[in-house]
Amino acid sequence: MSDLKVGDLIEQAHQLREHIRAEEKELNLRKDELKQLSIDIMHKMDEVGVDRLGGRTANVSIAEQEVPTVKDWDAVYDYIKSQDAFYLLQKRMSAAAFRELLAMGQTIPGVEIYKDRKLNLRAV
């Protein structure tokens, strides 16, 4: 553990968090640029009818895959129940809905609670 006072540690944490936020903002801008470049490249490739191209320092290829977009969750849930196809769902419980049931005094069998502790740091 550090010999610094807690106030000094808080200041260090705040400065580091602000540095990280600035770097993340810059990184997100770069990711947006890369996403737009990828879209532009794919449009150009579509125009000439190719799915692979090469440059001086890199090659590109277009990969496609089917991704579901649910339009009617009730129909999907009915299908999942009737076909016992629960493998179609991601295995994750909604923490907000769980906390709401917990606040109402309900428990859910097979669920264990753990405390996720984190420090909230706010600039003054």
Would you state the structure tokens that stand for residue 85, as one six-digit string?
Answer: 């196809």
DSSP one-letter string for 88-103: GS-S---HHHHHHHHH
Residue 26 located in a structural domain = yes
pLDDT tens profile 39-66: 999 999 999 999 999 888 999 999 999 9
Is 109 inside a domain boundary?
A: no
Q: What is the mean pLDDT of the chain?
A: 93
Chain segment 108-118, per-residue pLDDT in tens: 999 999 888 88
Q: Give the pLDDT score at 19.
A: 98
Instruction: Give SS3 for 59.
Output: strand
Convert the pLDDT of each residue in 7-24 to its tens digit.
Answer: 999 999 999 999 999 999
Range of the domain at 57: 6-103
Q: Is residue 51 part of a domain?
A: yes
The verdict on residue 1 lying in a domain is: no
Q: pTM higher than 0.85, yes or no?
A: no
Distance CA 10, CA 18 (A): 12
Q: Count structural domains, the chain.
A: 1
